Structure 1
Amino acid sequence: MTDYGHDLLFGSFVTPGAQDPRKAVDLAITADKAGLDLVTFQDHPYQPGFLDTWTLLSYAAARTQRIRLSGNVLSLPLRPPAVLARAAASLDVLSGGRIELGLGAGAFWDGIAAMGGRRLSPGQGVDALAEGIGIIRDLWDVDARGRVDHDGEYYTVKGAKRGPRPAHDIGIWIGAYKKRMLALTGALGDGWLPSMDYLPKGPDSLPEMNARIDEAATEAGRQPSDVRRLMNFMRAGEDSDQWAEYLAGLALDHGISAFIVGGDDHATTERLAAEVAPAVRELVARERGRTAPAT
């Protein structure tokens, strides 16, 4: 059993469809009003049927009050890291500290190449992501001396000024499944953001994948708990009580502490906030109380 002790977060996973552009925004507003913690949007810049995710994030941030927002996950090969760093920090400032940064190494390389991105192998994508994360963090580090210089294999930054300072410590959440990406997540990430439907063995994959992240975190001089474990679900469970028990089990047994649910449905969003999230929090708090060391 692995419980990293993080507070629990609940959110929605919204499709940025262009055919009905108000739908994605309205779903974000519903999530905000219902009391969810997060609203996230897919990022596929090569899909003409989708709105541009960063533009949508900015618009949704302006239409909401308290909910945190993130791409899920942003395709780094089509979003230069230095520019993305400034965009994320700027939107974080404008939104009052409500932006998180979900990042991916890239997939659908034909689409990426069609949009002018560099076609990389999976291994190259991992290396480029590691470079990109370093650049992003350097641009955010306004207290460091000097400008940012990076002469890497995939990205070059020469004399870039640091800033602006984000309004809060923006989390970098990494979409990862394979061994090298899991290791990168443990070494460099603030969160792991996969989708349950894409895990090779479903929940049975979690012990091995968590162990890979934990090992890499330790080797990098970090604590395994430095990496929040998030999870996307393409659909919600039909029975709220059973769904809550399932999610609480994932939290207590596998350390999953953020549950992001798709479906593009207002009723599902409201049920998640009103019924499922409180029940999961109660179950997890009760069990943590039982296992907490005596003082």
Structure 2
Amino acid sequence: MQVDLIIVGGGPIGIACGLEAQKNNISYVILEKGPIVNSLFNYPVNMQFFSSSEKLEIDDIPFISKEAKPKRDEALEYYRRIVTSNDLNINLFEKVERIHKEGDTFTVQSSKDTYQGRYVIIATGFYDIPNTIDVPGEDLPKVSHYYDNPHFYAKQKLAVIGASNSAVDAALECYRKGAEVTLLVRGPEIGKRVKYWVKPDIENRIKEGSIKAYYNTEVTAITAKHIEINTNGEMMRLDNDYVLALTGYKPNFSFLEKIGVQLSDDAKRYPQYDEASMETNVENLYLAGVICGGMDTHIWFIENSRVHAKTILQDITGKEQQAEQNA
């Protein structure tokens, strides 16, 4: 398939890029490896956004929710309706496997087809690769880096590793569905970026003893029936049925490097791009959304990166107009 623009990633920002391309008469295709807004689809069933609904809107399309801060299913409905109502050219369950540039043309090989275009936008987010804790037993079936439904953990001894929003939400929900929850925190306290209406809840549940918490703690090993920890220098072994290692996620850096995008040498792995256009060091290859922040995945959200779509398409249309004038 030959198009002007290939958009990799069908999340909210990828969808926003498709809408902008459509408005500017730029032929495009969005390639998404899962369903529409795949990352949001894989969020926990009861997940509630930190942002209010108007801050999750794209292309000035109103997002009406029951509460000020919408939940996962409302977001799925909102973005799904945008895709279907605007008849966006999006190919689902089609994973991009390789991007190669020769001259002025990008060739994108997916699991189903091959595409060629003059421009590429990478809007793949960061939710696919978990930050591992790299201890013996992490590969056991009882260990998961993703959390879905609290019902599964009822009447089980559950260890939740982490102190961010995802870990705190999981700990509270599973406790309320009957799990015996232990929260294992690497630092001295609950994360400062935890949702302000949730933070007092988890702190009070810990204070009253409903949820056991170990601070300044690192997991050293996981076995079929136990989890071993080092807490403030003391080695302990806790009875355990399941482990939720909710320690965050990271972008696919090797994918970017294979395309030729330069990354910073430090631990942050910031990709190189021009903030005025979102164009990387690879000409006509753009980044949009969370992937722009490297390991600092808390920098970019839907609400502050939705503008990337307009910025990128403005740059692309400018190049197209210049090319027409020079022809």
Calculate the TM-score normalised by the size of structure 2. 0.29
More helix by share: 1
Q: Larger C-alpha radius of gyration, 1 or 2? A: 2
More strand by share: 2
Calculate the TM-score normalised by the size of structure 1. 0.31
